[in-house]
């Protein structure tokens, strides 16, 4: 937990934060409304003897009292998909509509991409891209298991992604759930901090900046881009969005979220950020008994 000490000045009730990070994370699933309704899925769980709690902020998210959410009847039939509760936040913030053209830049293994398709009633196009060829099979498998027919899978570096293969030249919305140092996954991956270093944070931040810039360039004027990570590091969060504000035509906008969270930072380690970064959300483990996440919503202005 030593790397997390650097966040003591910015986190309310830091001792509660540390205590939450040391507790194992419970299991959650998302109801796949492409194949079923929330009511039908919960009834099936009850008939299968699996207890659950419905998330207050999102009725499609269920906390299951089982150690094997992937072995349930509902999972086998594609009615539910194992997905950390806080991981379901970015697609909800992106708020895609049926018929939209949406780009999930870093999509594997497909939890958020298939969630986007479900939010669109599986109508439109979700381009699910990932640069890691080894993860593409999991992405395709989840798309097929969950019945996401609106999903197209590509394998490219998002930083120089080309739209020439498509019959359109821009997206309506884009999700950048960027590769990161994964500090916020400490509850489900106790070894998440084993290889932590400032050099790694700075290295991955450079990749994140390139992906976010390309997402903004590939999205239409007035379109929406959501940037998210599962880490606490401001270098990978506010600083990346700040770089986008300085290099691309965009602005940070407000969004509603039914979870407790802290606002984005206006300053870190001597670096000052645009005041609009306070519209971002920092979700800490002790706030909602979840993992950690950062989410910012941007609008393309030109």
Q: Which residues are catalytic?
A: 230
If you average pLDDT over residues 154-180, what whole number do you get?
97
Confidence (pTM): 0.97
Assign a CATH topology to domain 26-83: Alpha-Beta Plaits (3.30.70)
Q: Average pLDDT over the chain, rounded to whole? A: 97
Report the alpha-carbon angle 74-178-206, nearest 5: 165
Assess whether pLDDT exceeds 90 at residue 1: no
| Percent of residues, the chain, with pLDDT higher than 70 | 100
Adjacency order of strands within the sheet including 80-82: 52-54, 61-64, 27-31, 80-82
For the chain, give every residue range classified as CATH 3.40.50.150.
2-23+85-300
Architecture of the domain made up of 2-23+85-300:
3-Layer(aba) Sandwich (3.40)
**What residue ranges of the chain are covered by domains with CATH 3.30.70.1170?**
26-83
Q: Is 109 annotated as a binding residue?
A: yes
105 is in an annotated binding site: no
Q: What is the pLDDT of residue 122?
A: 98
Q: 93 and 125 in contact (C-beta within 8 Å)?
A: no
Q: Is 112 annotated as a binding residue?
A: yes
| Element (DSSP H or E) covering residue 200 | helix 198-217
Please state, in angstroms and rounded to a whole number, the distance separating the CA atoms of residues 220 and 213.
13
> How many CB atoms neighbour CB 135 within 10 A?
16
At 239-296, the pLDDT tens digits run 999 999 999 999 999 999 999 999 999 999 999 999 999 999 999 999 999 999 999 9
Instruction: Provide the pLDDT for residue 100.
Output: 98
Average pLDDT estimate for 143-167: 97
What pLDDT is stored for residue 195 in this prediction? 87
Residue 111 is assigned to a ligand binding site: yes
Answer yes or no: are the C-beta atoms of 108 and 177 closer than 8 Å. Answer: no
Which tens digits make up the pLDDT trace of 41-89? 999 999 999 999 999 999 999 999 998 999 999 999 999 999 999 999 9
pLDDT at 31: 98
Residue 24 DSSP class: P
Is 35 annotated among the ligand-binding residues?
no
Task: Provide, rounded to the nearest whole percent, the portion of the chain with pLDDT above 90.
Answer: 98
Element (H, E) at 62: strand 61-64
Average pLDDT over residues 98-113: 98
Q: What is the pLDDT of residue 13?
A: 94
Supply the pLDDT for residue 278. 98
pLDDT tens digit sequence for 180-209: 999 999 999 999 999 899 999 999 999 999
Confirm or deny that 180 is annotated as ligand binding.
no
């Amino acid at each position: 937990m030593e790397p997390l000490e650097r966040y003591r000045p910015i986190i309310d009730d830091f001792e509660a934060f540390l205590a939450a990070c040391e507790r194992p994370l419970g299991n959650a699933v998302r109801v796949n409304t492409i194949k079923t309704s929330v009511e039908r899925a919960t009834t099936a769980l009850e008939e299968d003897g699996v207890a659950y709690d419905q998330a207050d902020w999102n009725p499609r998210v269920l906390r299951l009292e089982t150690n094997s959410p992937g072995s349930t009847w509902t999972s086998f039939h594609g009615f539910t998909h194992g997905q950390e509760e806080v991981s379901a936040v970015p697609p909800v913030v992106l708020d895609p509509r049926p018929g939209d053209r949406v780009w999930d830049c870093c999509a594997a293994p497909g939890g958020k991409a298939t969630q986007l398709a479900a939010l669109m009633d599986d109508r439109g196009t979700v381009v699910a891209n990932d640069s890691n060829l080894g993860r593409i099979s999991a992405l395709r498998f989840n798309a097929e298991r969950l019945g996401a027919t609106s999903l197209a899978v590509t394998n490219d570096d998002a930083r120089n992604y080309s739209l020439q293969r498509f019959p359109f030249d821009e997206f309506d919305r884009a999700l950048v759930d960027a590769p990161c140092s994964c500090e916020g996954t400490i509850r489900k991956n106790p070894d998440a901090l084993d290889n932590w270093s400032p050099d790694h944070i700075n290295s991955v931040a450079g990749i994140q900046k390139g992906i976010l810039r390309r997402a903004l360039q590939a999205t239409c004027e007035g379109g929406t881009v959501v940037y998210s990570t599962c880490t606490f590091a401001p270098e990978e969060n506010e600083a990346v969005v700040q770089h986008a504000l300085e290099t691309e035509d965009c602005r940070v906008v407000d969004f509603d979220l039914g979870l407790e969270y802290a606002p984005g930072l206006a300053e870190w380690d001597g670096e000052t950020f645009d005041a609009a970064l306070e519209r971002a959300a920092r979700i800490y483990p002790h706030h909602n008994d979840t993992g950690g996440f950062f989410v910012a919503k941007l609008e393309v202005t030109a």
